[in-house]
A and B are shown apart, each in its own frame.
Chain A
């Protein structure tokens, strides 16, 4: 605990006093991490000892050497290419930090000005995917192909595998479209950005695709606004939730005809277009005491996609991302909170807030705070510190005690989402006579 505090104090002191630019760390025992191919005999091993001496104790590596893919220095018996046999400041007697060890030979795996970098690569966790010694799979990968990707991206890989309409390249392997280390030209580790990547295989001028797109010139459109490149259960490989006019091939309900000079121009601007179908719903949204500002602005597309979406309600993404685009402070509070509030993590902001409008501040779905929390925490409505309309808050004559008297729904830096370091400090806020 003391050590933890010291680290925090040190971190704070550092942030308070911006220091000179940090020098790159000097790897300890750097001499031991000479590139494998040219390491020579830095450790001055006896003649004939190279490749054999280590195996006298680490005999298990004999088996690894028989595997299909063996790391070049291992194959050459050059253990000191990565390890220092005597001492090290790093785990496994590595001659430098893991990223520096790998970068000695593999510095070029990430493009210099990458538009996207795989998180484990950015965090120097090469060992997440590769076995540094040997493996049964190409490139020393820990698992084969998509199975490896599924370690972290299980949802995508499983959905792709079970999709009714499969995308062939996904079956071939994620690396067909993605570069697992980083991409110089596209987001999401894509080898090329969309649509260039897609049109590499799909000839947009073909009669079939032209007909399927109802003659709209979509070759420069972003395919992934409608299609799920990982496969889908919806015909046409559409994203799971499709705007009905699109699903029915009625593009011209919203856009000018395909024969127009401006075929993608919408028939009306902004919310007026949405109102042609959703007028009742939109009128109800506006008939509230408080309207969410994008709704007041008529900026439906601030949160929704007009074509298709992975998420319900044609949201542009998970609610954490959509809501967090403007309410980053709130999302950040949850991120650093010791105790997490489940709906926020699950992107279910709408459980507590009405995203279009409401009659209570903060667009709360229920102005009665106790009932709102009680949707999920029913037990606490009946078996907790006295709360409710008859229980006055001793700190403020205009307040009664409710859940938010002690907890902050988006979390705090303290346990149980309380705004004080300890429960006792919270309690003596009201129970002053117990103050010590």
Chain B
């Protein structure tokens, strides 16, 4: 009985990875992998990736304690210039603002710093107007089209909406009965999403709302440990770090399919951490434990 039960569980795990791919054509097709900087220096445990619609690509090359800036236009990758900052020695998350500046979350100091288009440190985000305890411990952040910051602050279990300067305009509390949130995202309509990794569930706050509501159903049987959410034209990509894949969701949290699988060869992933999708329909995945960033075309 025990053997049967565990065998069924094993098959269920296997089906989790295999079945959705069979049910629907893959929407991510591998184009190329980025293994090195402009001097052929290898990437090491890259955790973060951000891209802009103008072709900019920035990688948080976390294990090497640096950023790498590339361009990816018309299917061609160029650049790979390293940027080392004393103010962000362990970059874990990156975003690009409307002016081409890069915002970096440093894992060690838990501060968000700004880097200008020339690769120079341009100051840290200093929080102003935060209610209650003034301490903020960001573990994730995103930018919207107007360059507003959406910051997941685990010190006070809230999402802060702030200007790039750090002036906080809104605070949205996160539900207390949820174990851990690991990411925040915002769509073009101003809806804010939060990822509950433990419950494998998405939470959403409508534009202007001051509370999050759970959306969709728990994705526990679809993903293992989701840690990152990327939005692309009404679709959501949920990066499943421990499950070595990406779940594709509708804006209502509904499960649409699963992409990618565990492996070491090109096109496969090993503990993926973050991703972004640009206007051209190109997705960049930080494939951390494979020491590379992979580039995929997205079928929309």
Contact = CB atoms under 8 A, between A and B. Distances in A.
B13 A336 contact: yes
Interface residues of B, number: 49
A15 B12 contact: yes
B45 to A, nearest CB: 6
A15 B8 contact: yes
Given A398-B292, A405-B264, A293 B14 contact: no
A8 B264 contact: no
A291 B110 CA distance: 10
B35 A397 contact: yes
A396 B8 contact: no
A15 B155 CA distance: 42
Nearest to A123: B1
Interface string B32-70: 000110000011110100000000000000000000000
A433 to B, nearest CB: 16
A303 to B, nearest CB: 12
B183 to A, nearest CB: 12
A interface, size bucket? 35 or more
Interface string A2-13: 001001100110
B271 interface: yes
A396 B155 contact: no
B127 to A, nearest CB: 16
Nearest to B262: A419
Nearest to A362: B271
B271 A8 contact: no
Contacts of B44: 398
Contacts of B271: 361-362
A275 to B, nearest CB: 12
Contacts of A4: 3, 7
Contacts of B224: 329
Given A296-B154, A325-B179, A413-B14, A395 B288 contact: no
Contacts, number: 101
B157 interface: yes
Interface in B249-300: 262-266, 271, 288-292
A297 interface: yes
A398 to B, nearest CB: 4
B44 to A, nearest CB: 8
Most chain B CB inside 10 Å of its own CB: which residue of A328, A330, A335, A361: A361
B242 interface: yes
B264 A288 contact: no
A73 interface: no
B26 interface: no
Interface in A318-355: 325-330, 332-333, 335-336
Contacts of A7: 4, 7
A396 B154 contact: no
A399 B264 contact: yes
Contact of B6 (A298, A327, A335, A399): A335
Interface string A289-312: 111011011100000000000000
B73 interface: no
Contacts of B12: 12, 15
A296 B9 CA distance: 34
B224 to A, nearest CB: 4
A399 B242 CA distance: 19
A393 interface: yes
B42 A336 contact: no
B15 interface: yes
A293 B157 CA distance: 11
Residue in A329, A399, A419 whose Cβ sees the most chain B Cβ within 10 Å: A329
Contacts of A336: 6, 9-10, 13
Contacts of B211: none
A298 B271 CA distance: 26
Contacts of B87: none
Interface of A: 4, 7-8, 11-12, 15, 287-291, 293-294, 296-298, 325-330, 332-333, 335-336, 361-362, 393, 395-399, 405, 413, 419, 429
21 contacts: A11-B11, A12-B12, A289-B107, A291-B107, A293-B182, A296-B137, A296-B139, A297-B137, A297-B154, A297-B155, A325-B179, A330-B225, A332-B9, A333-B13, A336-B13, A361-B288, A396-B265, A396-B292, A398-B36, A399-B290, A429-B265
Q: Which 6 A-B pairs have the closest CB atoms?
A: A398-B291, A329-B224, A413-B10, A395-B264, A289-B90, A336-B9
Given A7-B7, A329-B224, A398-B44, 12 more contacts: A8-B4, A8-B7, A11-B4, A11-B7, A288-B108, A289-B108, A290-B90, A293-B139, A361-B45, A396-B290, A398-B35, A413-B13
